Chains A and B, each alone.
Chain A
Amino acid sequence: MINFEKVFKRYPGNMDALQNINLEILPAELVFVTGPSGAGKSTLLKLISSVEKPTSGTIVFENMNLSQLKTKDIPYLRRKFGMIFQDHKLLYDRNCFENVSLPLAINNIGGLDINRRVRAALDKVGLLNKEKIMPISLSGGEQQRLAIARAIVSRPSILIADEPTGNLDKEYADEIMNIFYSFQQVGVTVIISTHELPITPIKHKKIHLIGGELKDQTNYVQLLS
C-alpha cells in the first residue's frame, strides 16, 4: 500500500530528519511509529500525507509516486487519508457537527448524505449527543474523539495519527487507542506515531526511529496480560 525506498529528508541547515528509510506498510495494518523526540516520526507521517516532499528517494502509495506528485493533485491525495493531530486542529468557531462535516463539504458531498454520515461518525466516537456543542466545551479526550470523527467521516482507507494521545491522560489515551483498534479491525490502515508503544491486544507493526534512521521494523502480536 505504502512503500518507502531510500527516502531522505533534509531540512534547511543540513539537518537530516530522515535518512535512507526503506519500509512497507500493507493494507489494514496497524502501524506504530515510535522513537524519542526529534527521531523523525512526524516527518515520516508528513511525507506520507504529502505535507512535505522527500529530498530524495521514492514514496509510492497506490501506484502513485508521491515524490513526483504535482501540487494541484495533492489535495485529492490528502482526501484519501484521515488525519489526526496531537493538538486536534479543530475549528473552534464551528460546532461539532460542522467540524465533522468539513471533509464531506471538501469532497463535494452534500445534502442528506452529510447529515447521515456525520451522525454515524459522531456515533462511532460516542459524541452523537454533542453535535451542536462547540468544541471548546469538550474535554481533551472528547476533542480528540471529535478529531477522529472528522478523520473517519469521509471513509478513508488510511488513518494517520500524529501523537494522538500525547496530551491526554492514560484513561483518555486508552479510550482513543481502542477507537483506532476498532478501525483497524474493519480493514482501515492505521498509522500512529507515539513516544511509547502502548500495550495492544492485536497484531501490529512497529517502526522504530532514532535520529532519523530506521532502527527496527517488526511485526508483533501482543496480548493483554
Chain B
Amino acid sequence: MFNYFHNHFQAFNRALVRIFSNFGSSLMMFIVIGVTLFLPSSGLLIVENISQISNNIVYDAELSLFLKKDIKQDQIDFIQSALNKTLAIKKTHFESKLTAWDKLQNKLNLNPLNTGISENPLPDAFFISLNTFNEREINNLIDNLKTIDGVENIFFDAGWIKKLRSILYLLKIGLAFLGIILIIVLIVVIGNTIRLQTLTHKDEIEVSKLIGATNSFIQRPFMYTGLMYGLGGGLITICTLKLTIEIFNKAAFNLEVMLGGTFILKNLIWQQNLSIIIIAILIGCFASFFAAQQSIKKLEIFK
C-alpha cells in the first residue's frame, strides 16, 4: 500500500516538474482555463445577486384592490371586514380617493384648474400585504376578491417580479448551456495540450512500455498534470471573480454617493467557490485522462 502511494507521489512529483519546467506554457494554460471558467461563473454571480434582490422584493409585494367609483361607505366597511377575516392577508391599508387625489396633486404639483380635470379620477383603494407568496394561493385570493360587490379591479403588484424571475430562469438556462459549451472547449484545449505532451515524452513512453509499464502507470503523470491545470485554472477564476467584485463594488460605492442608490455585488459563497475548483479539476482530469489514454494507445509498441 505504501509503495502504491509512493508511486502516485512520484507521478505527482513528475507532473509538478513538468509544469515548472515549462512554467510559461503552464501559466498560459492556467489563464486559458481561468478565463474560460470566469465567463459562466461571472454570469452565475450576477444571476445570483439579481435573484437575491428579487427574493427580497417579493416580501414587499402587495395586492392593490381598486373599488368602484360610486361605492358607498357601508360597502367599503363590509370589504374591510371581509379582508380582515381573510387568513392570507397580513394587513390592509385603505386609501380614500380624496387622499389619493391630494397626494397625486402634491407629488406632481398639479393644479386642477390648469390641467382641465374637473373631478377626481381616482377610485378608493385597499393596499393589501400578503401572508403567503404561493402563486396559486395568491391567484385564488384574487379570484375570491373579484367576486365581492364593489370591487372594480385588482392588481398584483409583484407581477413584474414574476417576469424578472422568468428572465433569470432563462438566463440560468443560457448560462448552463454556455457553461457546457465552454467545458467542452476546455476539454478539447486541455486534451490537445496533454496529447502534445505525450508526443514530447514519446521516447519515455516507449521505454517505459518496453520495460513493463502498464498504460495506467504511464498515464498517471499526465493525469496529475491535467489535475494541476484544473486547480490552477480554478484558482485563477476565483481570484478574477473576487477582483471583479472588488472593482465593481468600489465603482458602485462612488455611484451610490452620486445617485443615492445601492447595488453591491455579493461574493459567491465558499461552497460555490469550492464547486468551481472541483469542476475545474474534474475537467482537467477528464480531459487529460482521455487524451493521454488515446495517445498512449497510439504509441503501442506491441504488434
Contact = CB atoms under 8 A, between A and B. Distances in A.
B2 interface: yes
B180 interface: no
Nearest to B5: A110
* Residue of B2, B4, B6, B212 contacting most chain A CB atoms (<10 Å): B212
Interface residues of A, number: 31
A64 interface: no
Interface residues of B, number: 21
A76 B212 contact: yes
Interface in B124-152: none
Interface in B1-24: 2-4, 6-7, 10
A102 B208 contact: yes
Interface in A22-38: none
A108 B208 CA distance: 13
B214 A110 contact: no
B213 interface: yes
B153 to A, nearest CB: 77
Question: Per DSSP, are chain B's interface residues mostly helix, strand or loop, or mixed?
Answer: helix
Contacts of B3: 108-111
A93 B212 CA distance: 20
A119 interface: no
Interface stretch (A46-54, A167-175, A193-201): A46-54
Interface in A105-124: 105-111
B269 to A, nearest CB: 41
B204 A75 contact: no
Given A105-B10, A111-B6, A74 B302 contact: yes
Interface in A139-183: 150-151
Contact of B7 (A49, A76, A81, A108): A108
A151 to B, nearest CB: 8
Contact of B4 (A78, A89, A102, A108): A108
Contact of A106 (B2, B212, B301, B303): B212
A49 B212 CA distance: 10
A50 B302 contact: yes
B2 A78 contact: no
Given A89-B207, A150-B211, A71 B302 contact: yes
A10 B55 CA distance: 75
A202 interface: no
B211 A106 contact: yes
Interface in B57-82: none
Contact of B210 (A72, A76, A83, A111): A83
A51 B210 contact: yes
Contact of B209 (A75, A91, A103): A75
Interface string B288-303: 0000000000000111
B301 A110 contact: no
25 contacts: A49-B210, A51-B210, A51-B302, A53-B302, A76-B212, A78-B211, A78-B212, A79-B212, A83-B210, A83-B211, A89-B203, A89-B206, A90-B207, A91-B204, A93-B204, A102-B211, A105-B217, A106-B213, A106-B217, A108-B3, A108-B7, A110-B2, A111-B3, A150-B211, A151-B211
Interface of B: 2-4, 6-7, 10, 203-204, 206-214, 217, 301-303
Interface of A: 49-53, 71-72, 74-79, 81, 83, 85, 89-91, 93, 102-103, 105-111, 150-151
Given A71-B302, A91-B204, 10 more contacts: A75-B209, A76-B212, A78-B209, A78-B212, A93-B204, A103-B212, A105-B7, A105-B10, A110-B2, A110-B7
